[in-house]
Amino acid sequence: MCLKRLITYMWKLIKLPEALKQLGSRLREVRLSQGLTQRELAALAGVARNSVARLEDSGSGRTDTLLRVLGALNILDRLDAVLPEATPSPLAMLKRSASLKPRLRVRHKRKR
């Protein structure tokens, strides 16, 4: 099963509060696997220790705090698996090309 389908399936099964708690517990697991305390992680991320604790306990917090913590844990690049760069669909590309003005050709008189 591809990652996108798996994530969609998980969201259907898991309510938001549970998903936030899972996010928090996974952050805690990564922090502990790197041998960091909440205070040390907070210092590395440039956030308050309470912010790290809140993220780990309930998964709630500000988006910038989450991104700082992910960066401090060196796992920020894992967001690409969840949120890949958007690529335009073939239909959108076709519509865009149709909206562009056609090139005009200038005819030069031939010398005889």
Quick one: pLDDT at residue 16?
A: 78
Quick one: pLDDT at residue 109?
A: 79
Q: What value, to the nearest 5°, has the Cα angle with vertex 45 and ends 41 and 47?
A: 95
Quick one: pLDDT at residue 55?
A: 96
Quick one: pLDDT at residue 73?
A: 97
Per the CB < 8 A criterion, the answer to whether 30 and 75 are in contact is yes
pTM of the predicted structure, to 2 decimals: 0.65
The neighbour count for residue 73, using CB atoms within 10 Å, is: 18
Domains in the chain, please, with CATH? 3-87 (1.10.260.40)
Quick one: pLDDT at residue 112?
A: 67
- Per-residue pLDDT 10s for the chain (112 aa) are 577 777 777 767 677 788 889 999 999 999 999 999 999 999 999 999 999 999 999 988 999 999 999 999 999 998 888 778 778 778 777 777 766 666 677 777 777 6
Quick one: pLDDT at residue 101?
A: 66
